[in-house]
A and B are shown apart, each in its own frame.
Chain A
Amino acid sequence: MHLDSAMSQRVTFNNKLLPYLLLAPQMLVTLVFFFWPAYQAARSSLYLPDPFGLSEQYVGLENFTFLLEDPYYRASFLTTATFSALVAAISMGAALWLAVMADRVIKGSGAYRTLLIWPYAVAPAIAGVLWLFMFNPSIGVAPYYLKALGYNWNHVLNPGEAMGLVVAASAWKQVSYNFLFFLAGLQAIPKSVIEAAAIDGAGFWRRFRTIVFPLLSPTTFFLLVVNVVYAFFETFGVIHTITAGGPQQATTILVYKVYSDGFVGQDLGSSAAQSVILLLVVGVLTIVQFRFIERKVHY
């Protein structure tokens, strides 16, 4: 409603050039840092260059057919989907639970919150190394105790355990970020609504299910988008340090393959083609999220 009143008092500028001038810096940044690299990637994906850039050949869509004919590359889509879904679900679930709990704490809540936010300051590669040390099959603390319980931990050969480990490390790192947003979201919910429900006799869980969670949905939706992007692109350091994509290809997500083909294998054509595919996947995913999930969001 206040929007309408603002509209009616709109200030008008008669200078036709000014808006373009004001937009120009932003456009320039977008062009230089987004469109230009994206164009370069798209172009490279049609060529087969040598590593040193001494020569290149136009190969049409060969880089793409080479990839899509490879069953290991196709399997990488499923790995990525599993990994991203698990990371998003676990990090958001844990963060929501912690936020709800921290929201109820009255004494020393500042200390709790600070401690919960800390892991966010840890770089992905460092987080990976920390988890790797804890779960190293020969020297780690966790396998030592698991062995005492009769479980033989070996993520070096067991694909399921390797996936579990990279998911845990990636999710752990993201919990703090999600926690921060959930906590802010919870505190933005008017106390009066919750108190009214309490007076009507709704218990904690009923209040959470029918009032708090729906009112949190904009935050949850925002975090879903952010977490999926995080799982897709920013978990590289964690995977690189813990499993390097193994065992077999159990933890080779799409982005990791872009790295290993491009930077380890010097196959820039294939790497560029993979970036283009990734660009399309993220585009589709974003459309799906905004078209189908956002409808369920109450602002």
Chain B
Amino acid sequence: MKRFSVTAAALALVMGATPAMAATQVEWWHAFTGRLGDLLAEQIKEFNESQDDYEIVGSHKGNYSETLNAGIAAFRAGEQPHMLMVFEVGTATMMAAKGAIVPMHELMSDTGADFDPEVYMPAVKGYYTTTDGKMLSLPYNASTPVLYVNKDALEEAGLDPEMDLATWEKVAVALEALKKSGHECPLTTAWQSWVHLENLSAWHDVPFATKDNGFAGTDTELAFNGPVQVAHIQAMADWAKDGKFIYAGRRNEGGARFRAGECAFFTESSAGYAGVKKEAEFDFAIRNLPYWGGAAKKGPQNTIIGGASIWVMAGHEPEEYKGAAAFLNFLSTPEIQAQWHQNTGYLPITMAAAGLTEEQGFYEENPGTEIAGGQMTGKAPTGNSKGLRLGSFDQIRGIIDEELEGIWAGDKTAKEGLDSAVSRGNKLLRRFEKSSK
């Protein structure tokens, strides 16, 4: 802790030495470029212009992994920003770093800012909340996977474009018809681990890991080699073998093919909406992520989120924390949230923002955009569907990607691949458990 006070003193000196500084600068490191980066910059600009006390300074630090790394490296050097955008898989890492972060509920009470955790959507904030209900970070961009459908492709294959696609059983029938008609890419996906294992597990209310997916302790073990997951991955593997499922890559490489009209079905984040809407020259629809009718007899549970949240880092001045709290509150206002939700396809993080979007008639004008929100809020989250809190999770996803590639290539069965991923991942969880003690 001594290092912090030295840094703080140095900072105070620098601050003091700068004559008549009008606004307190608050740094925010983020991972957005392109259109998202522009929208983010607009939010910062709007906040800065709305008051004179604080100035938010946004800096782009690379992709999600790079941004988290930049934050960690900066912390080690005593140069950390006030706010850091951390993707959802980094949540456990941030949580374990008790001396490096200021939990959001603490920030709000310390600075005396208005804060009512009840306004946030339970399924969204749940991912970033402790088991006793304390919010740790502000969900900034949260999305959930949905099914994108190329209606023209279904029609060409002699299918009804409005057909029921709620279950994978029904999707399988459509895949068969598409294949028979000579379609070259009936189904593709983005973020395979997130969609087809993490969300599949929550959607069917089965554990991805023990101890409430890691929420109840770091002594959690992976459990995604259960019967539901194995059956799903095996079905996908069979589709891959028959040329019905085309694997395009670990990230969202499949998106380019879907948007170009080459693929009929595409499982991807709801945040992919803006891109599809802009580029697709065909009639498309958004549907709920399918579930297995046989495995989820009472219908699906709820899906979980992906994306990032904003963490406040330790070691700064009270005045700067006030600025950070004001900014986080600004981001949570219904107007800003509704605008962000409508522009990007990310979920509205507050109930009020969803209500405002509804009022403005956005869902009516853009059918399908309400699907993601409904999927998250349909049922109250269970221990299996609150989210995931696993250490070394970025690496575990890498392991899952590797094993899934082995399965798609036909080198391993679904059971073999998932068993191997579980045992390899568990070793990393044990290391994380040990290192965070």
Contacts and interface: CB of A to CB of B under 8 A. Distances in A.
Contacts of B93: 51, 266
A108 interface: no
B100 to A, nearest CB: 4
Contacts of B256: 138-139
Interface in A241-255: 244-249
Interface stretch (B227-235, B278-286, B361-369, B394-402): B394-402
Nearest to A159: B409
B424 interface: yes
A57 B435 contact: yes
B181 interface: no
Contacts of B68: 266
Contact of A138 (B257, B394, B424): B257
B356 interface: no
Contacts of A54: 97-100
A261 B428 CA distance: 10
Given A51-B72, A51-B93, A138-B253, A72 B424 contact: yes
B392 A267 contact: yes
Chain A interface mostly helix, strand, loop or mixed? Answer: loop
Given A54-B97, A138-B257, A138-B262, A267 B431 contact: yes
Contacts of A282: none
A266 B392 contact: yes
B131 interface: no
B248 interface: yes
A48 interface: yes
A156 interface: yes
A101 interface: no
A22 to B, nearest CB: 35
A261 B424 CA distance: 14
Contacts of B434: 48, 57, 59
B419 interface: no
Given A48-B434, A138-B257, A260-B395, A244 B97 contact: no
Given A48-B435, A137-B248, A247-B409, A267 B100 contact: no
A158 interface: yes
Interface in B283-320: none
A269 B411 CA distance: 32
A295 to B, nearest CB: 42
Contacts of A50: 96-97, 435-436
Contacts of B394: 264-265
Interface string B251-277: 001001100001000000000000000
A25 interface: no
B431 A66 contact: yes
Interface residues of B, number: 40
Contact of B75 (A52, A59, A245): A52
A49 to B, nearest CB: 7
Contacts of A265: 392, 394-395, 398, 428
B93 to A, nearest CB: 6
Given A57-B435, A264-B398, A269-B435, A51 B409 contact: no
A158 B409 contact: yes
B65 A264 contact: yes
Q: Residue among A51, A137, A245 with the most chain B CB within 10 A?
A: A51
Contacts of B250: 244, 246
Contacts of A48: 431, 434-435
Interface string A61-91: 0000010001010000000000000000000
Given A50-B96, A157-B408, A266-B93, A261 B249 contact: no
B65 A263 contact: yes
A52 B435 contact: no
A267 B395 contact: yes
A53 interface: yes
A265 B409 CA distance: 26
A54 B98 CA distance: 9
A143 to B, nearest CB: 12
Q: Residue among A50, A53, A244, A245 with the most chain B CB within 10 A?
A: A50
Contact of A52 (B65, B76, B249): B76
A212 B126 CA distance: 72
A16 B224 CA distance: 71
A57 B431 CA distance: 12
A137 B257 CA distance: 10
A266 B69 CA distance: 8
Nearest to A247: B405
A157 B410 CA distance: 10
B406 interface: yes
Interface in A89-142: 137-139
Contacts of B411: 248
Sort A-B residue pairs by CB-CB distance and give the 8 closest, nearest first. Answer: A265-B395, A247-B405, A52-B100, A52-B97, A53-B76, A248-B402, A157-B409, A48-B435
Given A246-B405, A248-B406, A248-B411, 8 more contacts: A50-B96, A52-B99, A54-B99, A138-B257, A158-B409, A159-B409, A264-B394, A266-B93
Interface of B: 65, 68-69, 72, 75-76, 93, 96-100, 247-250, 253, 256-257, 262, 392, 394-395, 398, 401-403, 405-406, 408-409, 411, 424, 427-428, 431, 434-437
24 contacts: A48-B434, A50-B96, A51-B97, A54-B99, A57-B435, A59-B434, A70-B427, A138-B262, A156-B248, A159-B409, A245-B398, A247-B405, A247-B406, A260-B398, A261-B395, A263-B65, A264-B394, A265-B392, A266-B69, A266-B392, A267-B392, A267-B428, A267-B435, A269-B435
